Amino acid sequence: MSDAEKTAPESPDATAPASSVSSSSLPSPSPATEPQQTRTLTVRVQRSGPGGANARFDDYRLSVGPEDSVLDVLDRIRVETDPTLVYRHSCHHSSCGTCAMRINGRERLACITRMLALGTDVVTLEPLRSLPVLGDLMVDMRPMFAHIDPDWGYVRPVEKASTGVPHGVARYTRLENCIECGACMSACPVSNGTDDMPPATAQPAQHAAPQSTRQPARQAASQAASQAAQDTDESLPTDSPADPLAAPLFIGPAPLAALNRELARHPERREELLHIGKGPHGERHCRRHMACSRACPSGVYPAKDIMDIRMMHGGGKD
Ligand code: SF4
Ligand code: FES
């Protein structure tokens, strides 16, 4: 992935007409090696500038083999036809979490989603919801990371395998599976704005927006504690929707799952950490849709973490 892909959208002409890739413009595998199941599909990609400006769909027609993932196909389109296509990826094997997007309306990892397994003639690709669009299929993850303290350390399975156990360490303890892909944030109806249940609270309250880089959650805890002292239980935030990094109504499933892991690791910090979970943007906004757990590609079940936090302070209220 180029630096440009990592950091900035590359759609200089966001209103350009749809381009297409015909199967005849792509390398043709020899008849002897061409998988019998190869099919020509339409890949329909949402294109836009930052903030979703000038959103449209572009269609690309191309041949797809049974082993081709959605990410493989995006790479082919970008290399062979449309270098302005913006998306994010790194590991290609479901470890980094950077390729999450909506595929045929569901949050999935593009690198492990087989095109033909989707079973549709048109495969529609859209960016994650709940997070600001930087361009095309790439979203800004900072609003999620702003509520996950980088000090909440852990070891992922892939990191265990690649580094081995250092001298003097008896063993690793596997602490979490979250790959910080944001799929749960996108799937959550409260976070993505599709929740049709009435809000539990009504009065607005101002609060600080997250920093534009990762914010230590101890700082967030302090802010939340301070805010909780000012807010009543009936408070809701009123950030300007024009600010994509404004603190959200609900900090979302992934930060709350991370918080619950930290609560398990550090029971001595229970009160401090619970200030985040029960703060004005915390678990109180969860409606138990369970969409986060269904969307998670890594078996985290963030809805259970949210319920754990709710129960830790006598929850159950909506
Ligand atoms: S909890 Fe699951 S869906 Fe949410 S960010 Fe972590 S891995 Fe992704
Ligand atoms: S590219 Fe890393 S999870 Fe898909």
pLDDT in tens, 185-201: 999 999 999 998 765 54
Please check the confidence at residue 80 and state whether its pLDDT lies above 80.
yes
Q: Is 293 in the pocket of ligand 1 (CB under 6 A)?
A: no
If asked whether residues 148 and 271 sit together in one domain, one would say yes
Q: Out of 15-24, 87-96, 149-158, 307-316, which region has the weakest mean confidence (pLDDT)? A: 15-24
Residue nearest to atom 6 of ligand 1 (CA): 178
Q: Is 252 in the pocket of ligand 1 (CB under 6 A)?
A: no
* Dist. CA 23 → ligand 1 center (Å): 35
Q: Which atom of ligand 2 is nearest to the CA of 181?
A: 3
If asked whether residues 114 and 200 sit together in one domain, one would say no
- Asked whether 46 and 80 are in contact (CB, 8 A), the reply is no
Confidence of residue 266 (pLDDT cuts 50, 70, 90): confident
**Above pLDDT 90, what percent of the chain?**
55
- How much is the pLDDT for 42? 98
HEC string for 204-250 = EECCCCCCCCCCCHHHHHHHHHHHHHHCCCCEEECCCCCCCCCCCCC
If asked whether residues 278 and 236 sit together in one domain, one would say yes
Other Cβ atoms closer than 10 A to 24: 9
- How much is the pLDDT for 45? 98
Q: Answer with the one of 114, 139, 164 that is the final residue of a domain.
A: 139
Q: Tell whether 9 is covered by a domain.
A: yes
If asked whether residues 157 and 306 sit together in one domain, one would say yes
Q: Using one digit for the tens of pLDDT, what is the confidence trace for 289-308?
A: 999 999 999 999 999 999 99
* Dist. CA 194 → ligand 2 center (Å): 27
Q: Domain range spanning residue 57?
A: 3-25+37-139
247 vs 312, higher pLDDT: 312
Q: Is 228 in the pocket of ligand 1 (CB under 6 A)?
A: no
Please check the confidence at residue 79 and state whether its pLDDT lies above 80.
yes
If asked whether residues 124 and 196 sit together in one domain, one would say no
Q: Using one digit for the tens of pLDDT, what is the confidence trace for 103-120?
A: 999 999 999 999 999 999
Q: Which runs of E-coded beta strand occur in 10-121?
A: 39-47, 56-64, 100-103, 106-109
If asked whether residues 53 and 150 sit together in one domain, one would say no
* Dist. CA 100 → ligand 2 center (Å): 7
- Asked whether 249 and 299 are in contact (CB, 8 A), the reply is no
- How much is the pLDDT for 197? 73
pTM of the entire structure?
0.73
If asked whether residues 88 and 210 sit together in one domain, one would say no
* Dist. CA 160 → ligand 2 center (Å): 18
Q: For residue 180, which ligand has an atom nearest its CA?
A: 1
Q: Out of 83-97, 148-162, 188-202, which region has the weakest mean confidence (pLDDT)? A: 148-162
Q: Which atom of ligand 2 is nearest to the CA of 92?
A: 1
5 vs 273, higher pLDDT: 273
Q: Is 257 in the pocket of ligand 1 (CB under 6 A)?
A: yes
d(CA 33, CA 47): 34
If asked whether residues 114 and 16 sit together in one domain, one would say yes
Per the prediction, the chain carries an average pLDDT of 76
- How much is the pLDDT for 153? 61
The region, left, alpha or beta by phi > 0 then psi within -120 to 50, assigned to residue 54 is: left
Q: Say which DSSP state 251 is in.
A: -
- Nearest C-alpha neighbor of 246 from the set 209, 204, 216: 209
Structural domain count, the chain: 2
If asked whether residues 152 and 282 sit together in one domain, one would say yes
Q: Using one digit for the tens of pLDDT, what is the confidence trace for 10-53?
A: 333 322 333 333 333 333 444 444 446 899 999 999 999 999 99
If asked whether residues 112 and 147 sit together in one domain, one would say no
Q: Tell whether 18 is covered by a domain.
A: yes
* Dist. CA 170 → ligand 1 center (Å): 29
Please check the confidence at residue 221 and state whether its pLDDT lies above 80.
no
* Dist. CA 28 → ligand 1 center (Å): 38
If asked whether residues 218 and 297 sit together in one domain, one would say yes
